[in-house]
Chain A
Amino acid sequence: MTSWNPLILTLILFVPTAGAILITLLPRQSNAIRWSALLVSLVTFALSLHLPAHFVYGQQGFQFESDRVWIANPLIHYHVGVDGLSMWLIVLTTFLAPIGVLASWKTIGERKKEFYALFLLQQTAMIGVFIALDLMLYYAFWEMSLVPMALLIGMFGRKNGRAAAIKFFVYTFVPSALLLVAMIWLYAHTGTFDFVVLRQMRLGGALNFSATAGMFLSLAFLLAFAVKVPIFPLHGWLADALSEAPTAMAMVLAGKLGLYSILRFSFGLFPDESRRVAPILIALGVIGILYGALLAWVQTDLKRLASYSTLSHLGFCVLGIFSFTIASTDGGVYQILNHGISAGALFVLLGILYERFGTYEISDYGGLAARLPFFSAMMVGTALSLIGLPALNGFVGEFLVLSGSFGVHTYWTAAATLGVILSAVYMLSMLQRVLYGEPSTRVLALGNGTPNGDLTLREQTAMWPLLILIVLMGVLSPYWMRAINALYGSQPAQVQAVNHTMKAGE
């Protein structure tokens, strides 16, 4: 099977594109559209499992590499490869795809063809971002990921999809322009876009520029990524886009693309500069945690609540990765994965609610637990994972982040700990208002013309893998940490061991 290694990433990358092309050729009303979308995303997921199965732990550098010249002048390579960081992000992406298809099964009635074709294109773009090791290739996928996302938000949004889509696009596109300037500047000074080469030059001291230029470059990189995460105060697009986005898009919209890019490119190419701005980012991350949590507390709309809780949770990732200790980085990266799964589960559950009741208003609900016991149990599990209950995945990430950063940024970490409490406050009060108490009229009317009962087989199929992972990642974290730890081998300058950190996951 090893002969597959150089090819596998390309396959994972383009199978969704092929699927998208196939879907555009299918007849408009055909049922085959969603089945083929499901099939394609399952195949992609199966292919991506090749990565953890054949990943060589402890080996430095990138694996499954493939490097060809794409354009001779300027020299742009089709250079792809993964390390411990991107491997799990790819698997996470491909894992969420079939769940996204299942979650959209019923809600997308009209214009299925557009939806699933764009959905699969979006897959390609996201996977491309994670595997590209050439800055231009990376940028191409980075920008490409915007288009299907914006179109999907706009076409399948709730009320203000169009405005949210344009806001999302412009918010991300404008800083990307600066990113492009920085990338071309690097190329103009080095003659290469290759990340691996550039990093070696940078670490080996072969790539030197003035302190000012370095700062401007690193800020251009960081700004583009920070908007995509988003990091407070650049989160203006988040609540609108997330609350408008169809479930399948809300699951993947925030977090991992931006955070991954910070870890890979900002830290990889500008280690010193990143360290210099770290205190500011720590502060912004913690403000984001608290601000997001407080805003989530006062929301009356379930999806907006989930959006602000996303902002809050991503703050932990920011705190973790910018503390530059082994434990906190482990925790930050782990938290990216956790967030993908737990927030994904939350959005699927909210979508299920919306399918039945057609509303996200918290006040329209109440007493669901009696009518939808399965659903409610899953909702509670997901919420507990987001709160960070021990033995569930969220705890591992948050604990590592907080313990790792406590030694370096004591006060900010102490403030961030408040965020954990706040997240329990808003999540539990949401659960209380939605699941318990007196059943509302809508809940009582359940079954009159709406899908009546508890979770259907399709919904269960979508939810169980997520819940199982929530538990597994809580109790078996070393399995994932192994690969994440390999990061330090490949990026030694990023994380300096701070004396009193614990070795994560061991």
Chain B
Amino acid sequence: MNPRRDSYLVFDQVTKRFDGLPVVENPFNLVVPRGQFVVFLGPSGCGKTTLMRMVAGLDEPSTGAIWLEGSRVGPPDERRGMVFQSYSSFPWLTVRQNVAFGMRYRRDLSSKAKAARAQHYLDLVGLADFAAAYPSRISGGMRQRVAIARTLAAGSEVLLMDEPFGALDAQRREQLQIELRRIQSEEMKTILFVTHDVEEAIFLADRIIVFSSRPARIVEDIDITAELGSERSIALRDSDIFFRRRADLLRTVRSILTVV
């Protein structure tokens, strides 16, 4: 079997240097099956964001390559959508226009089809009632939903999320985590999600990749779904098994930091 051709998303011997400084030094290898929710967990500045940006095509690997469905990843396109922590929605467009912006450059859809898709994703993220509002008039959590809906409306198969809930308060964060899990299972999307929040990682992930500090190296590759199942609810969050998993992971993360 040739993993490049037969797997969904493949990091093949990827390294990255910025101005001669290594960000990803040891050749990075990872195979992600379609529909998996993968969380990159690691200290700030360890290179996990750079790995994700390379999937988006916003940065290029210095050596090695990234493969998506058998073809080498090139410049950005709407198949791989990015959701940032801040400045994620355009302040000069209404919520509906923001979501529709995702399809602005798609010539294969009629304007009627675009409007229907926009409505579908507004409903999916629960923003139908706020369609006419401007981002300045809604909460930070809603603005992140706008960005998620826009990326989905664009037709992204891979969602790249760079600490998308990092600026939100605890309640909004939990609510959005539950919704993101629901959306992912409904839409069958593959998600790469960067965070340094251990609890968020366990709650969201099918699989957690724990990174060392820079230059990035995989410390642990954890199959969370095998341990916790794929159903995620608030009840799970309060369960003993979740607490034990969290304590374990916290120990791992602490050991990384003490090495530095």
Q: Do A and B come from one complex?
A: no
Interface positions of B (Cβ within 8 A of A) = none
